[in-house]
Structure 1
C-alpha cells in the first residue's frame, strides 16, 4: 500500500493580508456601516475590536464551536435536512 500525502492547509479559510476571511468580516461590516452612517473611524475601530476578541475566542475553542453554540440556542438551520431542531430534546421514532 502506497502512502498518500494529505496537505495540512487544504481546508483553511482564505486570507486577506494577515486576517482570515472570518476575521475580516467585522472590520468590513464596520467600514460599510460607518460609510452609511458617516462615522467611518468609529465603526471601523469597533469592527477591529470585535475582530480582536473574536480571534481570542476562536483560538481558545475548537473548530466549529461557534456554529454548535448557535445551533444549541436555536439560531439558523431552519430548513436543514441533516440537522434536527435543537429545541426537540426527545425524539419519538
Structure 2
C-alpha cells in the first residue's frame, strides 16, 4: 500500500518543484519565447525576475486580488449584455 500525500492546507495551490504553479508561468513563457528569439538564457532570467516581482506583489495583497484587479480594470462585463456577469463599473447594486 502506497502512502497518500495530504496537503498541509485545504486551499494550498499545486506546487512545481518549490514554486507555486502561478509562479512557474512567467519562467516557462520566458523560456519558450527566448527559444523562439534565440535569447533563451536572457528571457528565462527575465522570467525569474518577473516571477520574483509577482511573488512579492502577491504576498502583499489578499487572495484573489489579481483576478479581481483584472476583472475590474479590463472591464470584462463593461460592454457585455450577459445577465450572469454584472457590470464592474456599477458601484451599488439595487
Same topology, TM > 0.5 = yes
| C-alpha distance in 2 between matches for 1:31 and 1:17 | 17
> After superposition, where does 1:1-93 map in structure 2 within 5 Å?
9-76=9-76, 82-89=84-91
Distance 1:11 1:82, change over 3 A: farther
Question: Any unmatched runs of 5+ in structure 1?
Answer: 1-6
Residue 56 of structure 1 deviates from its aligned partner by: 0.2
- Stretches of 4+ moved more than 3 A in 1? 75-83, 87-91
- TM-score scaled by length of structure 2: 0.75
3-state SS of 2:74 partner = coil
- TM-score scaled by length of structure 1: 0.76
Q: CA RMSD in A?
A: 2.5
